[in-house]
Amino acid sequence: MKRSISLDSFQTGEPIAADIFDSQNRLLLKKNAVLTESFKERLKANNINEVFITIEAIKNMKQASSQKNTPQTQKLLVSRNYYDLYDDLVYEQQKIKIRASYIKPIQTNFSILTKEFVILMLQDIETSLEFYLQIKKSQPEYNYKSHHINTAILAILIGHWLRLNVYTINEIAVVAMLHDVGETRVPQKILEKATYLTDEEWEEIKKHPLYGLEILHKTDWINNRELYGVATHHERLNGKGYPNGFVGSRIPIHSRVVAVSSIFNTATTDRVYAKRRDYIQLLLELTERSYGELDVKVTNVLYNGLADFLQRNNKTILLSNGDKGSLQRDKESSELSILGQNGIYNVKDPQCPRILNIS
């Protein structure tokens, strides 16, 4: 049994002592997670003013409060950090890859970890974006497991910038974590081919969203919106996507967000058939592809969120001509330039030196 408790009764900035749920028994925060003021306000914005906790957990909390706060009990309240949870998800992705190849259900533990990851990412967007850039820098080459997690991080951030509710963001994270699971049924020699694909090979690649649907359909904790998101993450607004050529309203927000996140993550890593792109030039390209292909709202919030972060934190940009500087964004036009030591470079100018590194 569960008992309702006012959301205002929980202290922000401290780990909570028990799992808390909403009125539909959906997990909101796991025990030992830190409740932040921004996350609390986010729940209230979605008309969640009271939460639920099990009667047994309440009894345990009362007993714990009567005991002395020893160093051992303090240690139990320490929230998990980004890297530990990321490593756990990498391990889960490895298990998913094996289970998917045999078309077996995905274990529930993965769902729990994904929800915990979403909560952690939403607690501090600035820190989460910094973590994302650090992870990307440490992983220059494409990797199946990390690609899914990195796509999920960016999708969660985009969901926040779009002001989506926490339930939708969680569903988007599940889609991102599993969007290419169907590739486990595509021959590896096709996925790793460095030259152009034949028509037959390309047709096989285009089946992977449906392979993913077939694999995940046996997993009982995945809902229909998440399944549909995996099946449609390669559909495009102009109908030129695959596997069904859906247009416009037939493509849900889950697929639209994951499409942009996946493209960004794939293009900014080295693959057997292409070298990685720099962040800023890719942002410009995604913006141009918004007119008919990708969702303009999604690409705009990514453009604004990442560009503002780089400028606000004065990140150093190293250019191919040996110059280095920082990103500047025009307040009126939103156009980007690099303020270098030897001049100012418009990133849209074909003569602009290539960006080698952002530190």
Q: Which CATH architecture has domain 82-276?
A: Orthogonal Bundle (1.10)
pLDDT of res. 181: 97
Residue 339 has pLDDT above 80, yes or no: yes
DSSP H helices in the chain: 37-45, 55-66, 71-76, 82-101, 108-123, 125-138, 144-161, 166-178, 188-191, 199-205, 208-216, 224-231, 253-267, 279-288, 296-312
| Beta carbons within 8 Å of 121's beta carbon, 6+ residues apart | 128, 153, 156, 157, 160
Nearest Cα to Cα of residue 42 among 167, 174, 176? 167
Sign of torsion over alpha carbons 83, 89, 91, 94:
negative
Residue 292 has pLDDT above 70, yes or no: yes
Confidence of residue 41 (pLDDT cuts 50, 70, 90): confident
In the sheet with 324-329, reading across from the earlier edge strand, the strands are: 344-346, 336-340, 324-329, 316-319, 355-358
Angle between helical axes of 125-138 and 296-312 (0-180°, round to 10): 90
Question: Is 329 in a helix, a strand, or coil?
Answer: strand
Residue 294 has pLDDT above 60, yes or no: yes
Share of residues in the chain with pLDDT > 70 (%): 89
**Model pLDDT for residues 60-76, shown as the tens digit of each residue:** 544 544 444 433 333 32
**Is the pLDDT higher at 62 or at 315?**
315
pLDDT of res. 318: 94
Q: For strand 316-319 and strand 336-340, is the pairing parallel, antiparallel, or unpaired? A: unpaired
| Beta carbons within 8 Å of 72's beta carbon, 6+ residues apart | none
Confidence of residue 78 (pLDDT cuts 50, 70, 90): very low
Q: For strand 316-319 and strand 324-329, is the pairing parallel, antiparallel, or unpaired? A: antiparallel
pLDDT of res. 24: 74
Mean pLDDT within 256-261: 98
Confidence of residue 50 (pLDDT cuts 50, 70, 90): confident
| Beta carbons within 8 Å of 273's beta carbon, 6+ residues apart | 193, 194, 195
pLDDT of res. 73: 31
In the chain the first and final C-alpha atoms are separated, in Å, by 51
Length reported for the chain: 359
Residue 22 has pLDDT above 80, yes or no: no
Centre a 10 Å sphere on the Cβ of residue 61 and count the other Cβ atoms it contains.
13
pLDDT of res. 80: 59
Q: The pTM is what?
A: 0.78
Confidence of residue 6 (pLDDT cuts 50, 70, 90): confident
Confidence of residue 16 (pLDDT cuts 50, 70, 90): confident
Angle between helical axes of 166-178 and 108-123 (0-180°, round to 10): 120
**CATH no. of 2-76:** 3.90.105
Question: Is 50 in a helix, a strand, or coil?
Answer: strand
Domain ranges of the chain: 2-76, 82-276, 313-358
Centre a 10 Å sphere on the Cβ of residue 17 and count the other Cβ atoms it contains.
18
CA 131 to chain centre: 12
Q: For residue 338, what is the enclosing H or E element?
A: strand 336-340
Question: Is 279 in a helix, a strand, or coil?
Answer: helix
Q: Which of 306-310, 330-334, 339-343 has the lowest mean pLDDT?
A: 330-334
**Is the pLDDT higher at 324 or at 38?**
324
Residue 165 has pLDDT above 70, yes or no: yes
| Beta carbons within 8 Å of 91's beta carbon, 6+ residues apart | none
Angle at 313 between CA 89 and CA 346, to 5 degrees: 110
Instruction: Give the whole-angstrom CA distance, residue 334 versus residue 74.
Output: 47
Query: What burial class does residue 108 get, using C-beta atoms within 10 Å of its C-beta: 0-12 exposed, 13-18 middle, 19+ buried?
Result: exposed
Query: What burial class does residue 182 get, using C-beta atoms within 10 Å of its C-beta: 0-12 exposed, 13-18 middle, 19+ buried?
Result: buried
DSSP letter at 344 equals E
C-alpha radius of gyration, the chain, whole number: 22
